[in-house]
Amino acid sequence: MAKQTIKNYTLYKLRFWLGYGFLAIATICVLVFAALYVPGGYTPAEQQSALQSASLSFARPESLLIVDLPYHALQKLSISVFGLSSISVKLPSLLLGFAIVAGLILVLRRRFTQTASILASGIIVVSAFFISLATTGTPEIMLVFWPVALLLVASFGVKNRTLQPFAIYAGSVIAALSLLTPFSAYILFALLVASLLHPHTRYLFRKASRSAIMFGGFVIFAMLALIAYASYRDLTFLTQLLYHSSHFSLDILANLKLLGMQLIDVASTTTNQTGLLAPVFGLSTLSLAGLGVYHLLRGRHSALSYLTFTWLLVLLPVVTLNPTSLALLVVPVALLVASGSGFLLNYWYKLFPRNPYARIFALIPVTILFACIIVSGAVRYFYSFHYYAPLANSASNDIELVVSKVDSIPKPSVLVSPSELPFYKLYFDSHNLSNIPLSAQTKDVLRDGGVHTNVIATRSSSIIASDLRPTEVIATSELHMESDRLYIYKKATK
């Protein structure tokens, strides 16, 4: 009878499929739960994004000349189909997050071992930073989606030492659309420089289809022409693409300090200033990325080393000037983490080159290490957005609270602040509530020293500063320090 070895066990043969299955289930559960329950409501950035998306119209072609058009088109479709809600606003980011997870796994599988790709993907996609990107209804997720899409096309576009025409066609379209996302031009520049520097990629382009390259050049040129036209109409279009961040600054020392704090600030003291949970990547992730830097430097002649280090060199000045745009570094950090994970696993394997049982038992502490890194990222996200005030207070569900009170009060008017008015109007129109009077002017509801109609006023409305005493105060928020969210003013009855 032949001796049974570990490699003959079914569990051993299915180990990678089990790993991918576990990662898929964990990602789906974490992202869906986060989108549905954490933090809830709408952040100011989500409200602004929804307003931009809702303004798109084929009847007005000029409305299509906006930054992040692909994302806003998806959000427009989501709002049109499902109505305006917290879920419909977040749905494009959620779907793109799932696409990023699948794409990142496939990209890493082509460059690293399956074990390293599973571990690195888990560390990145179940991290607090990525979860927040994938569950927030803003276009920032595109800074991760575009490079993953380009790397995916490039990874599967090379066959028999030839760059396939479909890869050039698809890559050029993706690259052209990515130019509408802020900072994507720098990513494309880094990828182009890395391709021109490495001899193997130069060889692939020399042997590629001329017609496909001409098509790609035409698509890129057409998009650049569109950007030039939009910039001619409004110069802010170009400035948003080149330095979109609200934290753009030429104070290099202050930027470096803020950037460093976001990477090592375990107390997350910078969240009030940046809105990002710190440390953004986690110290364990940065440690693995450091191992990845060491490993890639040892194999510095590889195409992956050229790509990763060129990418980082191009993006570091951009991130220095825009210290809150750390989403730009997610993909290169993922490559470094995969490289570091592979290096760490290989080191363990070398300790026990012949004894398979010893190798398995030696991997137990490594498995526990990676499991703790992955689980801690998700746990940190959920606890931070539930209990850390700067993040827990970032979203508001006041508008849904207003709508819930509309049915219980006869013929009410809704009074909001001027900054709240556009989003409230969009929400009311989407939910067929246009018959309810909506205003940002206190004088519209006052007459003879009192209100002439029942009024539901938000905390930010101007009537709060008047001498009128509300009939009822609605205090229902457990997330905000100011738990009183709405004020009800009922007209006097004769």
Residues 121 and 193 in one domain: yes
Do residues 304 and 421 both lie within one domain? no
Residue 44 has pLDDT above 80, yes or no: yes
Q: Flag whether 1 is in a domain.
A: no
Query: Is 494 among the domain residues?
Result: no
Check pLDDT > 80 for residue 265: no
Residues 6+ apart with CB under 8 A from 181: 67, 68, 70, 71, 139, 142, 143, 146, 241
| pLDDT at residue 243 tops 90 | no
Q: What integer best gives the mean pLDDT of the chain? A: 84
Same domain, 303 and 450: no
Q: What is the pLDDT of residue 2?
A: 45
197/81 same-domain check: yes
450-451 and 454-458 strand pairing: unpaired
- Which domain, by its residues, includes 420? 398-489
Q: Is the pLDDT of residue 481 over 60?
A: no
Is there a contact between 282 and 153 (Cβ–Cβ < 8 Å)? no
Assigned domain for 202 exists: yes
Residue 477 has pLDDT above 60, yes or no: no
Q: Tell me: do 315 and 461 sit in the same domain.
A: no
Both 12 and 137 in one domain: the answer is yes
Residue 97: pLDDT over 90? yes
Question: Would you say residue 226 lies in a domain?
Answer: yes
pLDDT interval class at 5 (50, 70, 90) = low
The rounded distance, in Å, linking the Cα atoms of 329 and 315 is 8
What is the model's pLDDT at position 358? 64
Instruction: Render pLDDT for 373-406 as a digit per residue (tens, 0 to 9).
Output: 778 888 888 888 877 777 777 788 888 888 888 8
Domain count, the chain: 2
Does residue 289 form part of some domain? yes
pLDDT surpasses 80 at 274: no
* Mean pLDDT, residues 24-43 taken together: 81
* pLDDT of 141: 94
Residue 228 has pLDDT above 90, yes or no: yes
- pLDDT, mean of residues 173-199: 90
Specify the length of the chain in residues.
Answer: 494
Single residue among 392, 423, 456 that ends a domain in this structure: 392
Is 166's pLDDT higher than 80? yes
Residue 1 confidence (pLDDT): 41
Average pLDDT over residues 251-255: 85
Same domain? For 305 and 221 the reply is: yes
Q: What does the pLDDT read at residue 156?
A: 87
Which backbone phi and psi does 126 adopt, to 5 degrees? -105, 20
* Whole-Å CA distances, 267 to 158, 279, 399: 45, 8, 32
Domain boundary among 374, 392, 410: 392
Asked whether residue 484 falls in the same domain as residue 453, the answer is yes
Determine the pLDDT at residue 335. 93
Q: Which residue has the higher pLDDT, 474 or 401?
A: 401
Q: CA torsion, points 78, 421, 140, 120, in degrees to nearest 10?
A: -70
Query: Is the distance from CB of 159 to CB of 173 less than 8 angstroms?
Result: no
Q: Is the pLDDT of residue 269 over 80?
A: no
Choose one of 372, 392, 412: the last residue of a domain. 392
How far is Cα 112 from Cα 120, in angstroms, rounded to an integer?
A: 10
pLDDT band at 110 (very low <50, low <70, confident <90, very high): confident
The yes-or-no verdict on residue 308 having pLDDT over 70 is yes
Instruction: Categorise residue 142: left if φ over 0, alpha if ψ from -120 to 50, beta otherwise.
Output: alpha
* Pair 388, 412 in one domain: no
Instruction: Looking at the structure, tell me whether residues 83 and 213 fall in a common domain.
Output: yes
Q: Are residues 62 and 106 in the same domain?
A: yes
**Together in a domain, 341 and 477:** no
CB distance 49 to 137 below 8 Å: yes
Look at 300 and 123; give whichever has higher pLDDT.
123
Exposure string (b/e) for 161-178, b if CB count within 10 Å is 16 or more? eebbbebbbbbbbbbbbb
Q: How confident is the model at residue 478 (pLDDT cuts 50, 70, 90)?
A: low
494 band by pLDDT with thresholds 50, 70 and 90: low
First to last CA, the chain: 100
- Beta bridge partner(s), residue 484: 475
